[in-house]
Structure formats: C-alpha cells, structure tokens
Amino acid sequence: MGFGRMPATGKKRFVLRMFISLKYVTANVVDRGRGRVVATASSVEKDLKANLECGRFCNAKAAAAVGEVLALRLKVDGLAGEEIHADLAKEMEKKGFKNITKVRAIVHALRSHGVNLIFDPNAAAAAAAAAAARASVPSHATPKSDEADD
C-alpha cells in the first residue's frame, strides 16, 4: 500500500466530493480504489461559466448547473448506474450553514438526472438528530398559542 492510500474495497468505491466557496462551486466523483478523480464539474469552466450569472458570488442555480454537468459526464462515462456514496452530513458540516442550499442543489441535480447516489445512513441519522435539536429550541419571536388566549 502507498502512503496515505486506502485499500481498494468494493464498499464505497466512488465518492462524491464538493468544494464550495463564495465564488466557485466544484463537484468531483473520486474512485477510492484507484485514488483518482473520475468525473468533475466546476463553475470555473469556461463553457459553464459563460452561461451562469454568478457575478462575484455563485448561488444555488450555479450549484445546480454544476450538478447537471457532472451527472451528464457520469452518464457519458457509464458511471451513472454505479453506487456513488455521499456523506451529506459531513459535506454540510464542512461547508457551513450558508452553503447548505448549494450542497442540496448539487445532490438534487444529480439524483434528478438518474445518478445512483447512496447516502450514509449513520450520517443521515446524525443530520436528522441535529435538525430535530435545532427545531426543538424555543423561538422567542413567536408567541405561544396558550399565551395568546390570556
């Protein structure tokens, strides 16, 4: 085994990775068995950038366009039917709250174009628990219905 390289296992061979900044959105599918990127799409690409209205900042529309281009490239390469694993909780945590819509836009575009995305069930449970915890925090801005009757 090489330095820092994972053994080639059939489990989670292809993994979706996203790189999101204020200006650019990039999505890659990595073959962990070979240690290389098999498909990529980015808002930096000349053809894609010309059709986007990013200005100084990229938005969810740009992220969705990147997801569509990546899905088409995966179809051309014959990888759309392969299991591509995505750890959404990790990606959303890594990207921060402001970029969650961009992560969701990429994932939605990939799934709507027939890419076989597999979500990590442990990560999904953790994300659901975090969302439930945020929802259970009382909001001080809205009055409760019991208090409105008094």
Residues 135-147 pLDDT 10s: 565 555 445 555 5
Say which range, 12-21, 41-50, 96-105, 119-128, has the weakest mean pLDDT: 119-128
Give kind and range of the element (H or E) at residue 92.
helix 88-95
Cα–Cα nearest to 16, from 98, 123, 126? 123
CB atoms inside a 10 Å sphere around CB 20? 23
Most confidently predicted of 26-40, 45-59, 109-123: 26-40
